[in-house]
Structures are given as structure tokens and as C-alpha cells.
Structure 1
């Protein structure tokens, strides 16, 4: 049985790795055409199965790695990275916003121009002037950043960036609408 297992476990692991590597690189570079993302996610199970079968069929050589210091170091580092990636400081919410600045930006986007002016220690008129320079019509001082964005066909992030003073030339067309 071990010969049969070896005859298909290694090609399965290699094939699944190739799928995972190619789709992972495409996702990394934001080339998400067709079914790249679902294929990457779901066929990762195929990689897990192929590698597991490969380990089972090659158990004796595999277990030998645990007696070599370099191998233990590499495997240990991989475990630390895997466990570390689960820590909350690296998490994102559903919108892809990280913690800290992303949460603050979200709060400002749902605030009125008057409130944002208080936070920035300026006047709503000064913020409206900044928006005007960026080609964004503020309207009422009681309008929220999101409302201003919707009226102008922009994302809240673009309007907030203009309010904060750094978005006069910002492009509103990146893939996430940010």
C-alpha cells in the first residue's frame, strides 16, 4: 500500500502546490480574474491533503528531520509565523480596515463636517474650502463625510483625505474604492 500511496501523494502535493502558488501570486498582485480567489481558497484543501498523504507515505524520512537542528529551527519558525498570524493585532474586519487608524477614519467618515472641524481644531468653512479645492461640494456643515461623498460620487476615504488636506490629486479609482 505504501508504494501506491507514494505513487500519487507526491504528484498530488506538487500539483496542488502549483495551483496554490500561481493563484496566490495572482491574488498578491491583485490580478483576480475568473475564479482565482475561490480556486486558491478551496484547492488549498487539496494541498493539505496531498502534503498529509506525502508525510504519511514518507514518515520515516520525515521524522528524521526532527533530529536535525536546522530543520527544527525552520519548522519552529514556520510555527511561530503561523501562530503569530492569528494574533488580533494583525486582524482586519469585513471592510478590510485594520485596527487603530482605520477605526478612527471610519468614525470620522460617519461624522458631520462640524464634528470633524472640532476634532481638527478648525472651522467647518475651512474644511469646506479644502473640499472645494479638490472639486468636492460640501453642502451643509451638518452633512457627514459619507453623505458628502455620496453626493459627489466619491468614496468616503477620498473625501476624508481631502478634508485632512492631502488628497487634492488623489485618484478615486483603485480596486477597493478607497
Structure 2
């Protein structure tokens, strides 16, 4: 078992950490999210196994670090850096979320239901859409139904300016 630990723990940790770093930077920069999102999540979870092996392999040096106090400050600093990112969710004051979700709901809603959100009458919204080239047969039609793959463009065309 020691031979396996010595051969695999550090190289696997390094390899998976490199993948996690590259995919994390790509996600941070919003590049190739479709490629990197699942890879980053799953391989970061897989990274835990070689990390545990690495800690097991290096347990004695880790204990020495802890006894000398050299481990305490880096761990506390890491937690201090992480807390502000988690605090909004922990305190219940988190805002935001994916704007794609409400936009999708708005595009699929009947014009009659969407109009009050846009501070318009259903007929006014139907007229505004028609002026932009999107003709609805009734106010029960959705923006998605009348504009097909151009639903987002149609919705943006009738959103109040400044939103």
C-alpha cells in the first residue's frame, strides 16, 4: 500500500489540481462553460481521493507543521478569505441567480400574463410585438410561440428601457 501511495498520491493530486485550475479559470472568465462546468465539478470531487492519499502519505510532516503552529495561520487565512463569499447565502441576504430562468418563464408565458409585468395591457403588448414584426393571434400566445427561436430578441424588444 505504501508503494501505491508513494507512486500515485502526489502525481494524481497534481494532475487533478491542474485540471481543476484550468477549468476553474475558464469558468471564471466565462469561456467554454459548456465544456468545463461538469468537468470542474466532478473532477474536483474526484480530486478529494488523491488529496486524502496525499495527506495520508505526508501525515507525519503535517503533524510537525501543526505542532509548530505553521499550519494554523494558513488555514485561518483560507477560512477568512472564504467566508465573505459564503456569507450572503449563510445570512439569507443573497441576491441574484441566473437571469436566464425568469427570462425563459417570461418568454413562455401568455402575453396576457406577461403584460402586467411590463406595465402594459395585453393588447398594448400584442401591438408592441406586432410593431417589432412578431404577430400574435391572441393574447394567449406566448412570445416563444410567436417568435420561435427569436424569443429572446422579441422579449428584449418590448422590455422597458433601463431594465
Corresponding residue number in structure 2 for 1:31: 32
CA RMSD, Structure 1 to Structure 2 (Å): 4.0
Equivalent position SS for 1:115: helix
Normalising by structure 1, what TM-score? 0.61
For the structure 1 residues 82 and 114, does the alpha-carbon distance in structure 2 shift closer, same or farther, using more than 3 Å as the test? closer
**CA contact 1:65–1:71 (8 Å) conserved in 2:** no
Q: Give the length in aligned residue pairs.
A: 157
Normalising by structure 2, what TM-score? 0.65
Judging by fraction of residues, say which structure has more helix.
2
Structure 1 residue 17, shift from structure 2 partner? 0.9
2:144 aligns with one of 143, 146, 169: 146
Matches within 5 A, 1:91-110: 98=97, 105-110=103-108
The 4+ residue runs of structure 1 with deviation greater than 6 A are 88-91
Q: Distance in 1 between matches of 2:52 and 2:89?
A: 22
For the structure 1 residues 71 and 2, does the alpha-carbon distance in structure 2 shift closer, same or farther, using more than 3 Å as the test? farther
**CA contact 1:16–1:44 (8 Å) conserved in 2:** yes
**CA contact 1:26–1:36 (8 Å) conserved in 2:** yes
For the structure 1 residues 72 and 109, does the alpha-carbon distance in structure 2 shift closer, same or farther, using more than 3 Å as the test? same
Equivalent position SS for 1:154: helix
